[in-house]
Amino acid sequence: KQEVTQIPAALSVPEGENLVLNCSFTDSAIYNLQWFRQDPGKGLTSLLLIQSSQREQTSGRLNASLDKSSGRSTLYIAASQPGDSATYLCAVFNAGNNRKLIWGLGTSLAVNP
Amino acid sequence: SQTIHQWPATLVQPVGSPLSLECTVEGTSNPNLYWYRQAAGRGLQLLFYSVGIGQISSEVPQNLSASRPQDRQFILSSKKLLLSDSGFYLCALTGRGADTQYFGPGTRLTVL
């Protein structure tokens, strides 16, 4: 059974720092891995999707990497800003069951001015 | 691009009352649709998903039900709400296959 874990559960950093959020999964047979952002009281916004055949994806100051064999993904945020404060969630689509995502519990990020 | 509408945005209901939450989508055809619940301080819990009209898969046995009467409409219902049904309900969609998942704005439900 696929399980997704995110570490740390919470993170507080000063503005301007580069930071890394971690996501691990127990079964490497995945279609893709997705990173989302959730602001308090809001729905989720898709940030990046990495296909199982890819190693990384970039969007602006965000870079997500995928090491399928070790069951790990990282989300790198460069030059963090207070507007980056949110909860970041990762999720995977299992190969063979592409109908539902398996979710981590998220990392709550606070970027302090 | 696809858009997901949910209403109401907030809802306060007494224990034992019925519930109907509606989700409609635009800008896509034949999507997979999902209902999630997010309880305070907890992760996303998948409640139901649907791959087509009238096709509902239930992930968690409980007093909730879902229906998909039209391709772009997904409804979450309950005959009698429990206190434990309080939470933030999110509707989501993907295209066919393992695609990016898009979320609606959510409904905050408080059961008193």
Could you read off the pLDDT of B25-46 as tens digits, one per residue? 999 989 999 999 998 777 899 9
The residue among A31, A108, A16 whose CA lies nearest residue A68 is A31
CA distances from B89 to A48, A77, B36, B45, B76 (A): 23, 29, 6, 10, 9
Interface test with B, best of A3, A5, A101 (most B CBs within 10 A): A101
In the numeric block, the tokens 């995928």 are attached to A66
**Predicted local distance difference test score (pLDDT) of residue B98:** 61
Model confidence at A18: pLDDT above 80: yes
Model confidence at A70: pLDDT above 80: yes
For residues A99-112, average pLDDT = 93
Q: Using an 8 Å CB-CB cutoff, list chain B residues near A100.
A: 34, 46, 49, 59
**Predicted local distance difference test score (pLDDT) of residue B13:** 97
Beta strands, E only, chain B: 3-7, 10-13, 19-26, 32-38, 44-52, 55-58, 64-70, 73-78, 87-94, 102-103, 107-111
Q: Is B5 within 8 Å of chain A by CB?
A: no
**Predicted local distance difference test score (pLDDT) of residue A108:** 96
Model confidence at B62: pLDDT above 90: no
Cβ of B101 and A91 within 8 Å? Answer: yes
- Residues contacting residue B38 through CB under 8 Å, at least 6 positions apart: B44, B45, B87, B88, B89, B90, B106
